[in-house]
Amino acid sequence: MITVQIGYPQQTITLSLDIGSSDVWVNLQCSTSGWASFCGSYPQYDPTKSASFVPLSQALNLKYGIGAVTGAYATDNFVMGSGQTIKKLQFGGASASTRMFAGIMSVSWGLGLGTGYHNIIDQLALRGLTKARAFAIDLGNVDTASGSIIFGGLDTKKYYGSLIKNPIIPFYQSPDGYPRYWINMTYFGVTFPGELPLNFTPLVYAKPVIVDSGSTLSYLPPSLVNAMLPYFPGWVSKGGGLYTIPCSFKNVPGTMDFGFADKIIRI
């Protein structure tokens, strides 16, 4: 979740940060949102109280993996971080949503790919607030209550090891033909304490996967999951391709290993 200010005078709202889609949208009516009680627990944007709000004659129709949003587009001033302001940012005002618990600030592809207009990632670069259409996300971990996002660069104190460039798969070569952050996963395995890494992928392997901050789960091909499960006795199928393993594994100092090009990330 990310806190931003919108309108004049500024109204503070909280949005879900998503790198798997391209539009910014806000809930205008909690009663018609996908989760009314959750929506109502946060401050909401009221366009009638903003002198800089401008409605657009363009319908909003967005579909996600498990939800949808309808409404209309508009423009208003948008403020993030330490006061960086994007004036007249185009965003969606949701009049109704299905299975969506909050508004979304999306930072995926913009004009010409993800949207028909300059989205927030475009605007930051066009207005000179960043030098590139780039960002870095610190998700934190189970022991921290917050993370961070940096636009136009990265914080070298937030990681260790070296970085690599990993090509993004063009949308016309991706599995769903949609412009997302598709990259190839080249390795998957696990490492138990005092043992050699277990590799569940062939020597030559490239599986397109989506990097998406909007999901807390890793979705893997059935062949990899089936190869991994025997090493986690007590696993239970919850249906729909979801599995749980005993909580005792949380205290085992091993890792799950994800490979991208020649870099393996051990979690």
User: Which CATH number covers residue 132?
Assistant: 2.40.70.10
pLDDT computed for residue 103 by the predictor = 86
Residues with Cβ < 8 Å from 97, sequence gap 6 or more? Answer: 27, 32, 33, 34, 67, 68, 69, 70
Q: Looking at the structure, do residues 165 and 243 belong to the same domain, yes or no?
A: yes
Query: One of 18, 23, 76, 122 is an active-site residue; which one?
Result: 18
- Residues 186, 264: Cα–Cα separation, whole Å: 9
Q: Looking at the structure, do residues 53 and 119 belong to the same domain, yes or no?
A: yes
- Residues 216, 167: Cα–Cα separation, whole Å: 23
In a domain, 155, yes or no: no
In a domain, 202, yes or no: yes
* Domain end position, chosen among 121, 136, 151: 136
In degrees rounded to 5, what are phi and psi of residue 167?
-60, 140
In a domain, 154, yes or no: no
Residue 194's SS3 state is: coil
In a domain, 156, yes or no: no
Q: Looking at the structure, do residues 131 and 172 belong to the same domain, yes or no?
A: no
Q: Looking at the structure, do residues 119 and 43 belong to the same domain, yes or no?
A: yes
| Active site (annotated) includes residue 212 | yes
pLDDT computed for residue 98 by the predictor = 79
In a domain, 188, yes or no: yes
- For residue 113, what are its two tokens? 């790919």
User: 103-156 pLDDT, tens per residue?
Assistant: 888 888 887 787 888 899 899 999 999 898 888 888 877 677 778 888 888 888
In a domain, 184, yes or no: yes
Q: How far is CA 175 from the centre of its chain?
A: 18
Print pLDDT tens along the chain (267 aa): 889 999 999 999 999 888 878 889 998 887 877 778 887 888 888 999 999 999 999 998 888 777 788 999 999 999 988 888 999 999 999 888 877 777 888 888 887 787 888 899 899 999 999 898 888 888 877 677 778 888 888 888 888 888 888 999 988 898 888 888 899 999 999 998 888 999 999 888 999 998 887 777 888 999 999 999 999 999 999 988 899 999 998 888 889 999 998 899 898
In a domain, 205, yes or no: yes
Q: Looking at the structure, do residues 182 and 217 belong to the same domain, yes or no?
A: yes
Residue from 72, 70, 68 nearest 96 by CA: 70
Peptide bond preceding 246: is omega within 30 degrees of 0, i.e. cis?
no
Q: Looking at the structure, do residues 260 and 184 belong to the same domain, yes or no?
A: yes
Query: One of 46, 212, 257, 262 is an active-site residue; which one?
Result: 212
Q: In which domain, by residue range, is 122 found? A: 2-136
The DSSP annotation for 30-90 comes to GGGSSSHHHHHTS----GGG-TT-EEEEEEEEEE-SS-EEEEEEEEEEEEETTTEEEEEEE
Q: Looking at the structure, do residues 130 and 253 belong to the same domain, yes or no?
A: no
Q: Looking at the structure, do residues 200 and 120 belong to the same domain, yes or no?
A: no
In a domain, 7, yes or no: yes
Residues with Cβ < 8 Å from 19, sequence gap 6 or more? Answer: 106, 107, 108, 135, 137, 181, 211, 212, 213, 214
Q: Looking at the structure, do residues 128 and 170 belong to the same domain, yes or no?
A: no
**Total domain count for the chain?**
2
